[in-house]
């Protein structure tokens, strides 16, 4: 039986970033994933400023920019009444965000983690935990038909919302009021695309939105995300709705008249950060989607996943130095993580609630159409989540609505 400082289950953005930060600190890390990389991951593929910040810390931003991606310099919105507002991001000349398929992004993160980790095993299925005296001390699993056991001082669950860790520990987010249902497909030759991500608040998608995220070579990631509770109560067929928007909606049918869908429509569940789960315990922490960290308004989860990988690594390094792997110690990870993201989650949850009222969405986007200040604040909040001070200020909204 092999022993490690840390076992990380799941090699997506959260698991790979956590592994990299721990390994750079000289810790002995075993990284496990059930897939073989590179692998596809259903996602909107939008990369925010928070993601860019952590990628810079990992030294991977320049490498990623040599891969297949498209820089994004702003956001285009549209309201239920059809008002379209393109907004250029203020500030730096450098792109504050970009669009990149998860097959590319995740492989760059994984290969970096694999290079740094003590050991990495792909196509490994975790089947159980090893527990002693109420503390997780290892994992059991299978690979290529053989059974293995590995032990560690800390277990990191980074295997997603439907992964083994959150389900086994009984903390997975199954609350339909705190989940979004998403569908997406890749298209070719969509008209009118530029260098901005597009979030369209079509009446039929509220409380949610229809997106178009441009990719290189005229491709686009196109999809819809709506609260699961709303989808079920209204009996919405998301795949059918996606087809109707792209072929019949007056704002989009011309843009899609020559477009060709190049993939099947794929669906998935997004566990929202509005459901604050207990993402720590004796000997373990949960990160990324396993910790239910998807932004409630934008549906973006990569930035929070990378951030959770970074913050968990900081706390785990302290725990290893102190030889303290208690639930109390790992509660520090929970506090530090939400200290970073909670304000943004609260703000964006309020924006999501606003989407229950189409007239308010029309009013805000209409004001943004006429006000440069409002346009820049909203765009900056989407592309740079750490800089959303105005969106948390009620006075700003009063001025926005009645100025």
User: For 300-344, how does the pLDDT look when each residue is reduced to its tens digit (9 = 90+)?
Assistant: 899 999 999 999 999 999 999 999 999 999 999 999 999 999 988
| Cα 263 to Cα 260: distance, rounded to the nearest angstrom | 9
- State the residue range of the domain holding 104: 2-72+97-175+272-351
| Cα 77 to Cα 379: distance, rounded to the nearest angstrom | 9
Q: Quick check: 397 pLDDT over 80? A: no
| Cα 276 to Cα 278: distance, rounded to the nearest angstrom | 7
CB 3 within 8 Å of CB 134:
no
When the pLDDT of each residue in the chain is averaged and rounded to a whole number, the result is 92
Instruction: Report the number of distinct structural domains present in the chain.
Output: 1
Does residue 207 form part of some domain? no
Does residue 25 form part of some domain? yes
Does residue 303 form part of some domain? yes
Provide the 3-class DSSP secondary structure of residue 331: helix
Does residue 302 form part of some domain? yes
Does residue 155 form part of some domain? yes
Q: How far is CA 253 from CA 191, 192, 203, 250, 259, in A?
A: 10, 11, 15, 6, 10
The b-or-e profile of 322-344 (16+ CB within 10 A means b, else e) is eeebeeebbbbbbebbbebbebb
**What pLDDT is attached to residue 379?**
64
User: For 136-158, how does the pLDDT look when each residue is reduced to its tens digit (9 = 90+)?
Assistant: 999 999 999 999 999 999 999 99
Does residue 390 form part of some domain? no
User: For 184-226, how does the pLDDT look when each residue is reduced to its tens digit (9 = 90+)?
Assistant: 999 999 999 999 999 999 999 999 999 999 999 999 999 999 9
Does residue 249 form part of some domain? no
Please report, rounded to a whole number, the percentage of residues in the chain having pLDDT higher than 70.
92
**What pLDDT is attached to residue 372?**
77
Does residue 244 form part of some domain? no
Q: Cα 79–41–121 angle (5° rounding)? A: 155
User: How, if at all, do strands 284-286 and 146-157 pair?
Assistant: parallel
What CATH number does residue 339 fall under?
3.50.50.60
Task: Count other Cβ atoms within 10 Å, centred on residue 125.
Answer: 12
pLDDT band at 69 (very low <50, low <70, confident <90, very high): very high
């Amino acid at each position: 039986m092999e022993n490690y400082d840390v076992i990380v289950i799941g090699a997506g953005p959260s698991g790979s970033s956590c592994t990299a930060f721990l390994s750079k600190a000289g810790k002995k890390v075993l990284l496990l994933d059930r897939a073989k990389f590179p692998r596809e991951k259903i996602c909107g593929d939008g990369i925010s400023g928070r993601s860019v910040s952590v990628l810079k810390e990992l030294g991977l931003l320049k490498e990623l920019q040599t891969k297949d991606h498209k820089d994004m310099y702003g956001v285009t919105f549209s309201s239920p009444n059809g008002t379209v507002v393109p907004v250029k991001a203020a500030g730096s000349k450098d792109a504050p965000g970009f669009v990149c398929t998860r097959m590319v992004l995740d492989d760059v993160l994984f290969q970096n983690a694999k290079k740094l980790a003590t050991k990495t095993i792909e196509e490994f299925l975790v089947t159980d935990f090893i527990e002693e005296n109420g503390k997780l001390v290892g994992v059991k699993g299978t690979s290529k038909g053989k059974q293995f056991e590995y032990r560690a001082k800390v277990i990191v669950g980074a295997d997603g919302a439907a992964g083994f860790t959150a389900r086994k520990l009984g903390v997975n987010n199954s609350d339909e009021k705190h989940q979004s249902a998403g569908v997406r497909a890749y298209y070719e030759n969509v008209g009118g695309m530029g260098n901005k991500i597009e979030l369209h608040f079509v009446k039929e998608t509220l409380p949610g939105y229809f997106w178009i995220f441009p990719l290189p070579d005229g491709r686009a990631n196109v999809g819809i995300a709506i609260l699961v509770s709303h989808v079920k109560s209204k009996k919405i067929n998301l795949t059918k709705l996606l087809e109707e928007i792209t072929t019949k909606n007056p704002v989009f049918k011309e843009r899609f008249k020559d477009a060709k869908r190049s993939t099947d429509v794929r669906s998935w569940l997004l566990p929202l950060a509005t459901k604050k789960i207990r993402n720590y315990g004796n000997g373990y922490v949960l990160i990324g989607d396993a910790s239910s960290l998807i932004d409630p308004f934008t549906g973006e989860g990569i930035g929070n996943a990378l951030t959770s990988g970074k913050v968990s690594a900081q706390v785990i390094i302290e725990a290893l130095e102190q030889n303290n792997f208690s639930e109390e110690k790992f509660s520090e990870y929970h506090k530090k993580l939400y200290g970073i993201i909670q304000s943004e989650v609260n703000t964006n949850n309020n924006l999501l609630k606003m989407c229950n009222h189409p007239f308010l969405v029309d009013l805000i986007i209409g004001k943004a159409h006429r006000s440069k200040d409002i346009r820049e604040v909203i765009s900056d909040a989407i592309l740079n989540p750490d800089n959303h001070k105005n969106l948390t200020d009620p006075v700003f909204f009063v001025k926005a609505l009645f100025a």
